[in-house]
Amino acid sequence: MQLIMGKLTSYIQQNIVGMKTIRIFRREKDVVDGFKEVESIYVNTAISAGKIQSIYMPLGPAILTLGIALVYVYAGYTLGIPGSALAVAQVGDIILFARYMMRLTFPIRDVSQTLGTWIAAYAGLERVLEITDAPRNVEDLPNAKDIKIEKGKLELENVTFGYVKDRPVLNNVTFMVQPGEKIAILGATGSGKSSLIYLIPRFYDIQTGSIRIDGTDIRDFKLASLRKQIGVVLQDVFLFSGTIRENIAFGKPGASMDEIVQAAKSARIHEFIESLPCGYDTPVGERGVTLSGGQKQRVTIARALVGNPRILIMDDSLSFVDAKTEREIQSAIEEATKTRTTLIIAQRFSTIKTAEKILVLENGSIAEFGTHNELMAKNGVYKKVYETQFVQKASPILEEAGGA
């Protein structure tokens, strides 16, 4: 019953969340038909469950009432035999007895209901414990310290990582990034680009090898200390409901207004924010203004910059944007990455162009690593991608550069 109920709910959820896709493919009718099918199973299950329940639920009180009748009969009988050892004798006693039995009606009903609740609660508790008992995969090591990142030199040595034990996503990756350098990462879908950059703030722990920042293994940092010093711009732009100011200051609660404005300026969003009715105090999200994808992305860039991190990792995969937005984001990225060690998953040639070095990933291994000129001279994967994806396309919007 709970199972089929969950099925119905998830069907509705999927339908509503995926409404756009359904509309695009004109599958509305199939969806409604499919829903009716799931629903009819649900209704039938609910009714047959109701049938069982309706047999059992009134049974307890009914039996009890019959029991009272028995008391009357027995009492009447003993009353009829004077001097009987079992004589209950007093009418008052009989009434008292019957009334006590009546009082049992509600408790009995309650007990049978509680039993049902108990079963549901037990199943619920199991699921709750499943979450609370889930192991934490990334934790502070006992000797972890707060360490300040001074320069931002990044080294990866023989890094192997997989989400599942024997299926590595990254294989023996080794490279070094000098302080302030910008590395553009290219690669096909599933080549391990995102996994690679998520290893730096320890979203996941590597299986073998080491990742060092300024010569210190990242596992020697306290998690909070490490993450606060690395600016992260994720692929999906997520803003919390609240004001723009709160969103930018998210990573550094209590950041001064100057810091916030500075970050917004670097992210090329300051002027836009100023143009809003309440400026930095304009609420965003459900109850506030709706920002476009490009504006949101620039707010997330500002959010990454507010702590003035030495290291920046960015997943710049915003594909479907117009030329103007593209230029704005581009300029924001350029400004933001100027003095910072940056790993950026690049989709646009303009991003790649400004990077000092390019890292091409293929099936979790480094295929090529070097400057644009070096890689062009190598006549390898990069050159091929460069020529097919960037040169031949006349359009200024170069989406899907890495084939993502």
Partner 1 sequence: MSSSYGTFSTKQEERRKRTVPDRVLIRRVYEYAQAHRRNLIIGVSATITGALTGLASPYMHAIAIDRIITPKNLSGFIWWIPLFAAIILGNYLFQYIQTYQMRVVGEKVVAKMRDDMMEKLQVISLRYFSEGEAGRIISRPTNDANAVRIFIRMGLTSILVDVSSILGAFAIMFYLDLRLSLLAITVLPIAILLVWFLGKYSRAAYRRTLITTSGLTARMQEDLAGIKVTQAYAQEKETEKKFLKSQDENVKATIRAILIGSSYTPFVIGLRLIGTMIIVFYGVNAVLTGTITLGILVAFTEYQFAYFMPLVDLVTMYDQYQSAMSAIERMFDVIDTKVEIQDPPLERSVTLR
The CA distance from 305 to 302, in Å, is: 5
For the stretch 324-328, contacts whose Cβ atoms lie closer than 8 Å and that sit 24 or more positions apart, written own/partner, are 325/292, 325/293, 325/294, 326/294, 326/350, 326/396, 326/397, 328/268, 328/294, 328/298
* Minimum gap (Å) between residue 353 Cβ and partner 1: 27
* Minimum gap (Å) between residue 388 Cβ and partner 1: 29
Q: Decide if residue 66 touches partner 1 (CB under 8 A).
A: yes
Q: Give residue 157's Cα distance to chain centre.
A: 29
| Nearest CB to partner 1, comparing residues 108 and 367 | 108
* Minimum gap (Å) between residue 194 Cβ and partner 1: 11
Stretch that binds partner 1, among 169-177, 218-226, 259-267, 272-280 (CB under 8 A): 218-226
Q: What is the largest CA-CA distance in the chain?
A: 120
Q: Decide if residue 163 touches partner 1 (CB under 8 A).
A: no
| Nearest CB to partner 1, comparing residues 70 and 323 | 70
Stretch that binds partner 1, among 169-177, 224-232, 330-338, 394-402 (CB under 8 A): 224-232
| Nearest CB to partner 1, comparing residues 137 and 371 | 137
Q: Which residue has the tokens 């690593």?
A: 369
Could you give the 3-state DSSP secondary structure of residue 62? helix
Q: Decide if residue 286 touches partner 1 (CB under 8 A).
A: yes
Q: Decide if residue 21 touches partner 1 (CB under 8 A).
A: no
* Minimum gap (Å) between residue 322 Cβ and partner 1: 20
Where b means 16+ CB within 10 Å and e means fewer, 50-70 reads eeeeeeeeeebeeebeeebee
The CA distance from 231 to 300, in Å, is: 10
Identify the residue among 136, 148, 167, 287 touching partner 1 (CB under 8 A): 287
| Token pair listed for 96 | 């008292």
Which amino acid does the sequence have at 33?
Answer: D
Residues 168-207 that bind partner 1 (CB under 8 A): 201, 203
Residues 97-156 that bind partner 1 (CB under 8 A): 98-99, 102
Q: Decide if residue 36 touches partner 1 (CB under 8 A).
A: yes
Q: Decide if residue 250 touches partner 1 (CB under 8 A).
A: yes
Total residues belonging to the chain: 404
* Minimum gap (Å) between residue 121 Cβ and partner 1: 17
| Nearest CB to partner 1, comparing residues 225 and 308 | 225
Identify the residue among 1, 2, 37, 43 touching partner 1 (CB under 8 A): 43
In this structure, are strands 170-177 and 154-161 parallel, antiparallel, or unpaired? antiparallel
Residues 305-324 that bind partner 1 (CB under 8 A): none
Identify the residue among 251, 294, 364, 402 touching partner 1 (CB under 8 A): 251
Of 229, 274, 223, nearest to 251 (Cα)? 229
| Nearest CB to partner 1, comparing residues 153 and 296 | 296
Identify the residue among 245, 268, 298, 303 touching partner 1 (CB under 8 A): 303
State the CB neighbour count (10 A cutoff) for residue 361: 25
| Nearest CB to partner 1, comparing residues 306 and 385 | 306
Contacts of 112 (CB under 8 A, 6+ apart): 56, 57, 60
Q: Decide if residue 39 touches partner 1 (CB under 8 A).
A: yes
The CA distance from 264 to 245, in Å, is: 10
List Cα–Cα distances, 108 to 58, 66, 102, 112, in angstroms.
11, 15, 10, 6
